[in-house]
Amino acid sequence: MQLLRKIAFPISLIYALVVRLRNYGYDKGLFQSTSFKTPIICIGNLSVGGTGKTPMTEYLIRILKDPYRIAVLSRGYKRKSVGFVLGDSGSKVTDLGDEPFQMYQKFPKITVAVDANRQRGIETLEATVNPEVILLDDAFQHRKVQAGLYILLTAYGKLYNDDWYLPTGNLRDSKSQAQRANIIVVTKCPTGLSESERKQIITNLQPKEHQKVLFSYLDYGEAIIGDGTKRPLDFFKDGATLVTGIADPGPLLDYLQQQGIRCEHLRFKDHHFFTDNELQLFNSKNKLLTTEKDYVRLKDRVKNLYYIPIKHRFFAGDVQEFENDILDFMKQGS
């Protein structure tokens, strides 16, 4: 795979040129970017997957869901529906896509919608739901919409400034576009991240004066959820089969190893839709462990299935600063 990526370097140069020309068009006003009356918070990254956008969107939902009427708008990647779709009690994972469906199930009192055309999606939400804030999930590259607050995620150990363009690297946008972010969050940090390493990362990222760089880590739930029950992680001490269809299962594998859980790992591509043969294989396993995103696609199709809840946690000092910035933005926009 690495050899193929190196061979594809000329293609990455063409991709880089197209991305730069597109951004130049927006930066110079050659292409139109639309603002809306509703405050919009955009969560995204510059690379392909693996930075924790959905857990960060859920973090924002928890901050804002009580004082404000929230709508989440996503593309609904790999869904089987088309156009604008509003989540409701009859929605299926194939209608919304796995991540929006996960958020709707977890927060049924908020509005979750999907539309590949974000402008149309926002206009429809404003006309039908009239939300007080819209969270744009995975939309940093969607420059047809002008958000009020941009949150850029980059994973520890895989910082965007150390990356290169697709298909040789994982960048889907220019590194220079990081300057549009108001807040840069370095996600998936080790819990023992030192102050000196934080300073070194900030130096490497070279943030602008208007930007804050904050740090978070993944917090896995103590209880494993599935089959309508909660079980301690010790339930899997005698071994389990781990199924992942996410961009970067590395942190989860590290966590399970640290907890002394031995797993047979069946790894699939991000947003993978499982075949009948794969489901048959899963059902032959005694204990099946997966991610929450994969669980919503496998639930009711696989027995003995459990998932590990996951959240972003900010380091001391950063958590209050992040939440204050979000609430201050809402006060300014209301």
Angle at 107 between CA 106 and CA 112, to 5 degrees: 110
- Rounded Cα gap, residues 171 and 168, in angstroms: 9
For the chain, state the CA radius of gyration: 20
Residues belonging to the binding site for ATP are 47-54
**Residue appearing with tokens 């150390």:** 162
263-267 and 310-314 beta bridge pairing: unpaired
Q: What are phi and psi of 213, to 5 degrees?
A: -115, 120
- Residue 73 is classified by DSSP as E
CB-based burial, 248-278: b 16+ in 10 Å, e otherwise: bbebbbebbeeeebebeebeeebbbebeeeb
HSE of 90 in the Cβ direction (CA atoms, 13 Å)?
A: 1
Residues belonging to the binding site are 47-54
Give the helix ranges, DSSP H, for 224-266. Answer: 250-258
Number of helices (H) and strands (E) in the chain: give both, helices first.
11, 15
